[in-house]
Amino acid sequence: MVKIAPSILAVDFASLKEEIVSVEEAGADMIHIDVMDGHFVPNITIGPMIAEASRRSTALPLDVHLMIEQPDNFIPAFVQAGADIVTVHAEACPHLHRTVHLIKEQGAQAGVAINPHTPVDVLRHVLEDIDLVLLMTVNPGFGGQSFIRSAVEKISTVKTLAGDLNRDVWIEVDGGIDDETAPLCTRAGANLLVAGSYVFKKDDRADALRKLRGE
Ligand code: DX5
Ligand code: ZN
């Protein structure tokens, strides 16, 4: 079944804990934390302190998405803050295999993200080492952007590639996910949906999660 990871990028940060509890009670499966450094992407967001505060707000797994340069410098801090999954961008990692193994040595599950224009081929030689592939369906940097449809075909390509290698990886999509774009992704093989604005801008979060699951 498809799992949902609401992104706290879209919360009212004056009420972070209440916002996280509201989606946990509504049936969310993970909490997605968007970390941006003002270099890899043109925005600055969350550091280990907010990840740690999120950890104390929920029992759900924390899915930490690092949109930062030189992620090796910060992976230990995010794992210590309570990250269960740490995802790095292939575009930011000249030694991707080394970075993936650093995440695992620190005790978290490892994910690799790629931007909408990046071909899936870059995943080929790390797929055996990772737990999750994150396909960006917007250019990373901001919440509330429009879904890029051309990224959908990469979902089935990753699914086939993982199947060929007998790898059972999460296929996560992130950016512009709502009740219209979610089915395009799940039909193509995505099994983990990140949604920020769609979930947090709605008062009835349980209904938002049900709609994303196609229920
Ligand atoms: C974009 C982030 C996304 C974003 C999703 O750079 O990685 O996780 O918060 O937000 P929505 O669902 O509003 O597109
Ligand atoms: Zn994200």
Q: What is the pLDDT of residues 163-207, one digit of tens each?
A: 999 999 999 999 999 999 999 999 999 999 999 999 999 999 999
Domain ranges, residue 83: 3-212
86 closest CA partner among 115, 72, 66: 66
Q: How many domains does the chain have?
A: 1
Asked whether 11 lines ligand 1 (CB < 6 A), one says no
Tens of pLDDT, residue by residue over 97-131, are 999 999 999 999 999 999 999 999 999 999 999 99
Asked whether 155 lines ligand 1 (CB < 6 A), one says no
Average pLDDT over residues 125-147: 98
User: Residue 185: what pLDDT?
Assistant: 98
23 closest CA partner among 59, 76, 67: 59
CA 114, CA 117: separation in Å to the nearest integer? 8
Contact present, 150 and 185 (Cβ < 8 Å): no
User: Residue 54: what pLDDT?
Assistant: 98
3-state SS class at 16? helix
User: What letter represents residue 46's amino acid?
Assistant: I
Average pLDDT over residues 18-42: 98
Catalytic residue from among 29, 34, 37, 63: 34
Domain CATH code at residue 91? 3.20.20.70
Cα 18 versus chain centre, distance: 21
User: Residue 75: what pLDDT?
Assistant: 98
User: Residue 206: what pLDDT?
Assistant: 98
CA 97, CA 93: separation in Å to the nearest integer? 9
Asked whether 176 lines ligand 1 (CB < 6 A), one says yes
Strand order in the sheet with 85-89: 3-6, 192-195, 170-174, 132-136, 109-114, 85-89, 62-67, 31-36
User: Residue 10: what pLDDT?
Assistant: 98
User: Residue 131: what pLDDT?
Assistant: 98
Catalytic residue check, 174: yes
Question: Taking the complete model, does pTM exceed 0.95, yes or no?
Answer: yes
Residue 122 neighbours by CB distance under 10 Å: 14
Which strand (E) or helix (H) includes residue 143?
none
Tens of pLDDT, residue by residue over 51-81, are 999 999 999 999 999 999 999 999 999 999 9
User: Residue 70: what pLDDT?
Assistant: 98
Residue 96 neighbours by CB distance under 10 Å: 20
Catalytic residue check, 37: no
